[in-house]
Amino acid sequence: MNALSDQILSELRHLLSEMSDGGSVGPSVYDTARALQFHGNVTGRQDAYAWLIAQQQADGGWGSADFPLFRHAPTWAALLALQRADPIPGAADAVQAATRFLERQPDPYAQAVPEDAPIGAELILPQLCGEAESLLGVTFPRHPALLPLRQACLVKLGAVATLPSGHPLLHSWEAWGMSPTTAYPDDDGSIGISPAATAAWRAHAVTRGSTPQVGRADAYLQAASRATRSGIEGVVPNVWPINVFEPCWSLYTLHLAGLFAHPALAHAVRVIVAQVEARLGERGLGPASHFAADADDTAVALCVLRLAGRDPTVDVLRHFQIGELFVTFPGERNASVSTNIHALQALRLLGKPATGTRAYVEANRNPHGLWDNEKWHVSWLYPTSHAVAALAQGKPQWRDKRALAALLQAQRDDGGWGAGRASTFEETAYALFALHVMDGSEEPTERRRIAQAVARAVEWMLARHAAHALPQTPLWIGKELYCPTRVVRVAELAGLWLAIHWGQRVPAERAGAAL
């Protein structure tokens, strides 16, 4: 296993060294379709249209059938883009299949709004539904539970002449913006770090006459397209850049695997830590340098800095505290469990009291002792692995028999874990991070069961591991499900490294490491 271990460390080092380009994010059906619709020149984007058609599922919709809540936005967006693309082979058939799919879909917003609804659903879905009905004359699910939320948001937006650069609502500008004067590109040329919003803004700006900002928006969209690594002009990601989120989550993941202080990664980690420290302002950090600060990115950044031996102030996190809880963004519809999990770990690492936050995290579990009501990731394995790490922070003997039993029970026959119909490398890594925290029991039966689960997971992972492979499964919640490629790849590699070193004692990491 030495050769494999060296290869994993080498690839991790390479991934960390690349994280100065704005980030790597897989291609988005929704944003690509919206960008194509706003672009106007069908013949100049034939490859992108062909890519869009190729993503359609056999049932006529776009997105994974495992997670139906996240299929409406990409399917409507693709339908609207393709209904005006007659010269493109297969476009007409794709529109007919998509129409049939949407007509027979149950409405997930008929009575209430699910806790894990896609980002901007209250603005985006009614807008898409209205556009599709007016163009095709077909009645689709109307999402009545979203309508009062959309109206309230539009009233609030109507009272503001121009939103400040980086405001969270700019991320969905394509669903409400009517004039380019309500927003201006940030220093990267984006509207709300969103290719769809930027493409919509650019189209409005062009109709008002050429401006220097249009050129900056074009440059942004080209850079965002390159970030997908698809090689197809016009295929864009769901969000970009992510030059804070990507490095912070990657280093946090290394910590979960016991790799944060590994000598082979020390230089790359040190460079990123210095960048995070320089970017952290008095209001905290957001997912990108020019986007609004939020509690989630701020909390993970504080964890990373403390693990590196820095002593950041907790005051930047307090901006997002309401009572004992932390809101990701002020004014959000519902609290995020994982944001409070990360806030709990940051507070514990910094030696601050967190009784109320801990109580909230512990209370937000299902009857099996797992966390499955998360708004930023579709898999229960993501918040569960992070919650276990946060609750165990500073408590070496901590373990939860109920969660352990549920994790072991959830392992599939093939040896992996997954919230959908198949195991994924990413989710299997999360399961191993959680099991690693709870390993070390003095009960021989418990330790044997964990060892057996890890052995099966190793076999599954080794059969699927390939050096420098790009993750393909979108599990992160945006306007649709998306994949932050490097973040996921770091998790996959860290999980595999942990699994093959399970029987060895990895040097314990502690706050105060000399990085």
Q: Domain residue spans in the chain?
A: 12-21+241-500, 29-227
Question: From CA 462, how far away is CA 496, in angstroms rounded?
Answer: 8
CB-based contact 84:42 (threshold 8 Å): yes
**Per-residue model confidence (pLDDT) at position 210:** 60
Round the average pLDDT of the chain to a whole number and report it.
Answer: 93
Is the separation of the CB atoms in 287 and 237 below 8 Å? Answer: no
In this prediction, residue 168 carries a pLDDT of: 95
The hierarchical CATH code for the domain 12-21+241-500 is 1.50.10.20
Return the pLDDT at 512. 46
Say if residue 463's pLDDT is above 90.
yes
Best CA proximity match to 146, nearest among 188, 109, 92: 109
Mean pLDDT score, 177-204:
95
Mind listing the pLDDT tens digit for each residue in 268-280? 999 999 999 999 9
**Cβ burial 76-85 (10 Å sphere, 16+ → b, else e):** bbbbbbbbeb
Please determine, for residue 510, whether its predicted confidence score (pLDDT) is greater than 50: no
Q: What is the pLDDT of residue 126?
A: 95
The pTM of the whole model exceeds 0.85: yes
Same fold, 12-21+241-500 and 29-227: yes
Right CATH for 29-227 from 1.20.58.340, 1.50.10.160, 3.40.50.300, 3.40.47.10: 1.50.10.160
Residue 278 tokens read as 């320089």
| In the predicted structure, residue 352 carries a pLDDT above the cut 50 | yes
- Residues 211 and 86: their CA atoms lie apart, in Å, by 31
Strands 321-322 and 476-477: unpaired
Residue 212: how many other CB atoms lie within 10 Å? 8
d(CA 229, CA 241): 14
What's residue 515's pLDDT? 60
pLDDT score, position 441: 66
The number of beta carbons lying within 10 Å of the beta carbon of residue 395 is 10
Q: What is the pLDDT of residues 213-228, one digit of tens each?
A: 899 999 999 999 999 9
